């Protein structure tokens, strides 16, 4: 049995024990979640004044509600772009979210974001000198492909959070694997093209995760 399987089995046993012990006089809620993540942070100097940064997150998760057994599937690609103009002391943030554009392959082997669609866009300009921000909403064409390729050793991770206070109990367990990766490709958003290469990448990771949450409120 692997470490991750052991953690999952332990989570199930703890879950069942807690529910059996407390549900007679308590309200119990919870969920279980499993899925994949891919992320990259890249930055590039355009000229002596301007630097752009890109943060992209891919996710594909299945969430099961404990009380009803209902399942919800999500699949999203989220792009966040930032231009920083050090000469004019202002920054521009652009965010787009595209459902159904994330694919994952193998055991942390690769992931792909392939987009060619109109998507909602949020553009916010922040004036660093006076601390003023203005935002606009709209839609824009988003096209391009980014590909993650696993390149490092697979590492196991586990976190446990427990909180008790005045009849309230919550336990959250997250376990999974992560792997460093390389990212290549480009994405065009609102007429601006962002090309990502290993030279620009600050951090890129592939992750698989399982999470369980249990909350009990004593009546």
Each residue's pLDDT tens digit, 112-141 = 999 999 999 999 988 877 777 788 999 999
pLDDT of 9? 43
Residues 6 or more apart whose Cβ sits within 8 Å of residue 22: 28, 169, 216, 218
- The average confidence (pLDDT) of the chain is 84
Region 212-216 average pLDDT: 90
Distance CA(83)–CA(181), nearest Å, equals: 25
Distance CA(63)–CA(66), nearest Å, equals: 10
Q: Do residues 192 and 92 touch, judged by C-beta distance below 8 A?
A: no
pLDDT of 18? 45
The H or E element that residue 46 is part of is none
- Total-model pTM: 0.77
Each residue's pLDDT tens digit, 131-186 = 777 889 999 999 999 999 999 899 998 999 999 888 889 999 999 999 999 999 99
pLDDT of 34? 92
Q: How many domains does the chain have?
A: 1
Residue 114 sits in which domain range? 3-218
pLDDT at 54 > cutoff 80: yes
């Amino acid at each position: 049995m692997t470490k991750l399987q052991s953690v999952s089995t332990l989570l199930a046993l703890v879950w069942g024990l807690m529910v059996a012990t407390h549900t007679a006089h308590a309200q119990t809620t919870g969920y279980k979640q499993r899925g994949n993540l891919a992320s990259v942070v890249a930055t590039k100097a355009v000229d002596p004044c301007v630097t752009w940064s890109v943060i992209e997150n891919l996710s594909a998760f299945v969430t099961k509600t404990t009380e009803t057994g209902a399942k919800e599937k999500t699949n999203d690609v989220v792009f966040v772009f930032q231009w920083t103009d050090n000469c004019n002391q202002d920054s521009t943030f652009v965010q787009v979210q595209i459902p159904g554009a994330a694919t994952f392959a193998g055991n942390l082997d690769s992931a792909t974001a392939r987009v060619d669609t109109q998507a909602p866009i949020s553009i916010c300009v922040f004036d660093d000198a006076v601390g003023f921000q203005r935002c606009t909403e709209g839609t824009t064409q988003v096209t391009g492909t980014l590909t993650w390729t696993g390149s490092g050793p697979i590492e196991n991770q586990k976190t446990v959070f427990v909180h008790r206070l005045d009849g309230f109990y919550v336990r959250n367990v997250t376990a999974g694997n992560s792997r460093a990766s390389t990212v290549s490709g480009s994405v065009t958003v609102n007429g601006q093209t962002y090309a990502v290469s290993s030279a620009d990448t600050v951090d890129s990771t592939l992750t698989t995760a399982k999470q369980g949450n249990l909350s009990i409120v004593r009546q």
